[in-house]
Structure 1
Amino acid sequence: MKKTLALLLSGLIALSATACSSSSPASSAAAGSQAASGAAEKKLKIGIVQLVEHPALDAAYKGFVDGLAKEGYVDGQNITLDYQNAQGEQANCQTIASKLVNDKSDLILAIATPAAQAVANTTKDIPILVTAVTDPADAKLVASNQKPGGNVSGTSDLTPVAEQMKLLKQLIPTAKKVAMLYCSSETNSKFQVEIAKKSAAELGLETVDATVSNSNEIQQVVQSLVGKVEAIYAPTDNMIAAGMATVSMVAQPAKLPIIVGESGMVDNGGLATYGINYYDLGLITAKQAVKILKDGAKPADMPIEYSTNCDLTINKEVAAKIGVTIPQELLDKAGAASTASK
C-alpha cells in the first residue's frame, strides 16, 4: 500500500510539474505580443550611395536625411542609414550597390545617375529611390517617368536649360561661339547638352563640344578653349561640378564666363545660373521614402517628381574679375535669394 501511494504521489507531482511548464493560451499570447513588439521596433535599413562629393549632391543628401527626420525617421533610433560615397568612380558605385543589396537594405537611395544605374542593375526587388538624376527614363532606370513600372522611382534634377542659355546670351551679348563642357560618360549631361544646343541655335549661337572622360583632363580641355569661344556652358555634370575650382582657375584669367547648371557651381567659380534647390529635392525624395516605408507604396506606381522652384544665382565677384557687367534687372531678380551675389 505504501509503495502504491508513493507511486500515485510521484505521478501527481509529475503531472503538476508538466502542467506548470506548459504554456497557457494567455502566456502564449503574451509571448506573441512581445515578439510582435520586437519586430515592430526593428530598425529599418536605408542604404545610400552617392556618386561624388559636391555641393548639389551633398545638399540633396542632407535634404533627404532632414526630410526623414521631419517624418519621425531618425538615424540611430528607428532607422539605420548606411551612407557610402563612391568618390566619383563608377566601379565603386557597383561595389557599394552590391554591399547595400547583400546587407538586405529595406530601401536604397541613389544620388546621381551613375550611382542609380549601378543599384538598379544590382537588384530588382529592393525599392530604389533616385535623386539628382536628370531624366530617369532616358537613363533607362524606369519604363517612363510617369509610370516607372519597376522597383525604381525618385526625383529629377532637370534644370531650365533653355533659360540658362538665354541668360548666357543676356550676360554675354557679343558671344557667338559657346563650348559645351561635360563628361562624355554621363548620360544626364548628354541629355542637357542636347537641349542646350537646340536653344543655342535658336539664339544664333554656335556650339562646340568640350568633353572630358576623367577629372585629370579638365584643366587641359578648358585651356584648349581659350581664344576659341566666348563663353562656356556646363550643365549639372557631376565631374565638372566636382572640378569647378579647376575650371575656374583656367577660365578666370582668360576672362571666359561660365554659365552653369546649379548654384553650387556658381559658388565655386561659375558666373551665373537659373537652378533648382537640391536641398528641396532631397526633401521631396524623403516624402517618397516615407510613402514606401510607412504606407507600403510601390515605386512602380510612383511617378518621378520634380522641383518647380528655380532661383537666379549670380557671382558678382567673378563678374568683376572677368569684366562682365550684370544688367540691373538681373541683379534685382537675383536679390537676396542669390547666395553667391556678394
Structure 2
Amino acid sequence: MKKNISLIIVLVLALSLFTGCGKKEDGKITIGIAQFAEHGSLDNCREGFLAGLAEEGYVENENLNVIYENAQADGGTAAQISSNLVAKKAALIAAIATPMAQSAYGAAKKKNIPVIYTAVTDPILAELAKEDGTPAGQVTGTSDKLPVEQQLKMIRSILPEAKKIGILYSTSEVNSISAIKEYKEKAADYGFEIIESGISAPADIPLATDNLLGKVDCLTNLTDNTVVSSLPTILNKAGKKGIPVFGSEIEQVKIGCLAAMGLNYYELGVKTGKMAAKVLKGDSKASEMNFEVFKEASFYGNTFVAENLGITLPKDLVSSAAEMFSSIEE
C-alpha cells in the first residue's frame, strides 16, 4: 500500500512539474517572441502572430504572458536572446525571421521547448525541416518564400526596356542565398540578368549600393533582414540616380519602393499564431506539423514614387492592386 501511495505522489509531482512549464504563479502561460530585426514586415508578423493566438483563446495580459526580444539584426544578440528565453522556461518560443529561428531552435532543442517560426524563406535550407518537409524536431512554422516569378513578370511589365536587376543581400542569411539562386534561375525567362552584391554587415550597405547602382537598371529587394533594415539609405541613393527600387512586401512600398508583388505579413503572422495555439492546447506537437508556405501574393504600388521617376504603372496592375499608395511614409 505504501509503495502505491509513494508511486502516486511521484506521478502527481511529475505531472505538476510538466503542466507548470512556462507558467508563472498567476496561472498565465509564458511564451517568448524573438524577432531578429526591427522593420515593418517583421513587426507585422509579430502583431499577426498575437492576433492569431487571440483568435484561438490566448490573449496577452489575460491568460498569456509574452516576453518580447529583438536582436536588432545581430547574430550574437540573437543567440543570447534564445538562451535567455530557454533559461526562463518559456512554454514556447515564436521566432521571427530565419536567423532568429535557427538560433532559437539551436538553444530550445536542448530543453525540448517548441519553436514556432515565421518569415523563414527556406526552412529546409535553414535546417529547420527535413528534405521531405517534416520538422527537424520540435520546430515548425510558416515560410514567406518569395513569389520570384511573379515579381520578375511585374518588373518586366513596368520596365519594358530594363536588362539588369541589382540585388543586395546578406551573405550570412540562408534565406537570401536561396532567393538569389531562384532569381538567377528564372531571370533569363523574362530577359533579365541578375547582378548581386553580398554584404556582411549594415556598414557595408552604402558603398555596396553605390557600386551596384552604377551597373543596373533597377534594384529589387529580398526579405533580407539586414538589407531591409537599411532600406531608407538604399532608397535615398537610388532616388538621386533616378533608379527604381522594387520591394518584396507592402511595408517596403509604403516607405518608397516603386512596387512589389508581395505577401501580407500580418496574415502570415496570424497563420503562425494559430499553429502555435495548437501546440499550447496540446492538440499537436510542433514535431507533428509540417511547415506551411504562404503563397497569396498581391500587387502593391506607389504612385508618388512612380511620378517622381517618370514611370507610368500599367493599368492592369493598378486595377488588380491590393493597395496603392500616393505618398512616402516617414
Identity value in percent: 38
CA deviation vs aligned residue, 1:228-283 (integer Å, no higher than 9, x gap): 21111211111121111111100011111112211111112211111111100111
CA deviation vs aligned residue, 1:185-224 (integer Å, no higher than 9, x gap): 1110111111111111222212211222111222221111
- Tell me the residue number matched to 2:69: 84
In structure 1, what is the Cα distance between the partners aligned to 2:311 and 2:186? Answer: 22
* Contact 2:183/2:194, CA 8 A, preserved across alignment: no
In structure 2, what is the Cα distance between the partners aligned to 1:341 and 1:328? Answer: 16
In structure 1, what is the Cα distance between the partners aligned to 2:131 and 2:32? Answer: 24
* Contact 2:120/2:175, CA 8 A, preserved across alignment: yes
In structure 2, what is the Cα distance between the partners aligned to 1:331 and 1:64? Answer: 30
In structure 1, what is the Cα distance between the partners aligned to 2:91 and 2:125? Answer: 26
Instruction: Give the aligned residue type for 2:250.
Output: S
- Tell me the residue number matched to 2:46: 61
In structure 1, what is the Cα distance between the partners aligned to 2:115 and 2:43? Answer: 19
Question: Which residue of 106, 111, 131 corresponds with 1:121?
Answer: 106
- For residues 145 and 114 of structure 1, do their structure 2 counterparts lie closer, same or farther at Cα, with a shift above 3 Å needed? farther
Question: Is residue 2:310 matched to residue 1:312?
Answer: no
Question: Is residue 2:218 matched to residue 1:202?
Answer: no
- Tell me the residue number matched to 1:180: 167
Instruction: Give the aligned residue type for 1:91.
Output: G
- Tell me the residue number matched to 1:241: 228
* Contact 1:145/1:304, CA 8 A, preserved across alignment: no
* Contact 1:149/1:301, CA 8 A, preserved across alignment: no
Q: Give the CA RMSD over aligned residues.
A: 1.9
Question: Is residue 2:288 matched to residue 1:297?
Answer: no
Q: How does 1:117-196 map to 2 (within 5 A)?
A: 117-124=102-109, 125-144=112-131, 146-196=133-183
TM-score, with normalisation over the residues of structure 2? 0.88
Which stretches of structure 1, 4 residues or longer, exceed 6 Å deviation after superposition? 38-41
Partner of 1:256, secondary structure, is coil
In structure 1, what is the Cα distance between the partners aligned to 2:70 and 2:213? Answer: 34
Question: Which residue of 50, 63, 81 corresponds with 1:96?
Answer: 81
In structure 2, what is the Cα distance between the partners aligned to 1:132 and 1:339? Answer: 23
Question: Which residue of 255, 273, 276 corresponds with 2:263?
Answer: 276
Larger radius of gyration: 1
Partner of 2:212, secondary structure, is coil
- For residues 245 and 298 of structure 1, do their structure 2 counterparts lie closer, same or farther at Cα, with a shift above 3 Å needed? same
Partner of 2:107, secondary structure, is coil
- For residues 200 and 220 of structure 1, do their structure 2 counterparts lie closer, same or farther at Cα, with a shift above 3 Å needed? same
